[in-house]
């Protein structure tokens, strides 16, 4: 069975993070979160980004540990991963929000925790609360790193994903004068990017099916 078909390119993980932040339930909230933070301390937005990166990286490590523990069932996990990645891709193509009920509450975060440490805690909370908003892309990456079962691999790719997520946040915090309305308008492009990413996921899932099963018939 060829496991090379399940590897991720760090560049793909980075751009997955960039696309994820364009979600309509993420992007419009950034001015509120980051403007408040930058007004408190010039380093607080960095602390938020660091907390966010830590949260995503720990997710990658947890997924990898899960995959490593259950390596004896790896063939079944590959089939499950293929089905899941194709399903996530189809949900993005159909613009169907799998986590719609949870996504409506993803913005309910109190950002009043003061100081750099407070920013770190806010960032870590965002990593968890925004899972419904970025679910399909993040889910596909976590599924892939879980199949590998390599903690360093999982941590690296989720860290790179978080960097792609973080770069636009820092640009908005320090270099851009974007209003919530302007960012909400930009987030409309998320639909086209989401469909493109969905197509990529479907093709990746079909390629996994072909490489892991059909080519050996």
Query: In this predicted structure, what is the pLDDT of residue 188?
Result: 66
- Asked which of 27-41, 138-152, 201-215 is least confident by mean pLDDT, the reply is 27-41
Query: In this predicted structure, what is the pLDDT of residue 103?
Result: 46
- Asked which of 36-40, 162-166, 209-213 is least confident by mean pLDDT, the reply is 36-40
Q: What is the pLDDT of residues 64-102, one digit of tens each?
A: 998 888 877 778 878 888 888 888 888 878 876 655 544
Query: What is the arithmetic mean of pLDDT over 174-203?
Result: 70
Q: Do 24 and 187 form a contact (C-beta atoms < 8 A)?
A: yes
Q: Which of 163, 141, 165, 164 is nearest to 61 (CA)?
A: 141
Query: What is the arithmetic mean of pLDDT over 173-193?
Result: 64
- Asked which of 107-111, 129-133, 189-193 is least confident by mean pLDDT, the reply is 107-111
Distance CA 18, CA 4 (A): 25
Q: Do 50 and 170 form a contact (C-beta atoms < 8 A)?
A: no
Indicate the pTM of the whole model: 0.74
Distance CA 190, CA 118 (A): 30
Query: What is the arithmetic mean of pLDDT over 47-71?
Result: 89
Q: What is the pLDDT of residues 125-146, one digit of tens each?
A: 877 777 777 778 888 888 888 8
Distance CA 63, CA 142 (A): 6
**Cβ-based neighbour number of residue 66 at 10 Å:** 15
Residue 62 tokens read as 């947890």
The rounded mean pLDDT for the chain is 76
Query: What is the arithmetic mean of pLDDT over 98-117?
Result: 53
């Amino acid at each position: 069975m060829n496991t090379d078909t399940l590897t991720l390119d760090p560049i793909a993980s980075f751009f997955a993070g960039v696309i994820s932040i364009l979600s309509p339930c993420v992007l419009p909230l950034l001015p509120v979160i980051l403007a408040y933070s930058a007004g408190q301390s010039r380093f607080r937005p960095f602390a938020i980004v660091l907390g966010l990166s830590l949260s995503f990286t720990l997710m990658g490590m947890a997924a990898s540990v899960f995959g490593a523990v259950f390596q004896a069932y790896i063939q079944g996990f590959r089939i499950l991963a293929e089905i899941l990645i194709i399903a996530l891709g189809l949900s993005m193509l159909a613009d169907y929000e799998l986590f719609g009920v949870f996504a409506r509450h993803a913005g309910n975060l109190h950002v009043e925790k003061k100081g750099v440490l407070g920013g770190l805690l806010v960032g870590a909370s965002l990593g968890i609360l925004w899972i419904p908003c970025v679910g399909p892309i993040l889910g596909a990456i976590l599924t892939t790193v879980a199949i590998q079962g390599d903690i360093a691999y999982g941590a690296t790719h989720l860290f790179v994903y978080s960097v792609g997520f973080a770069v636009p946040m820092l640009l908005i915090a320090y270099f851009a004068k974007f209003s919530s309305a302007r960012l909400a308008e930009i987030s409309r492009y998320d639909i086209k990017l989401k469909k493109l990413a969905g197509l990529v996921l479907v093709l990746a899932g079909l390629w996994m099916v072909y490489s892991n099963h059909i080519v050996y018939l």
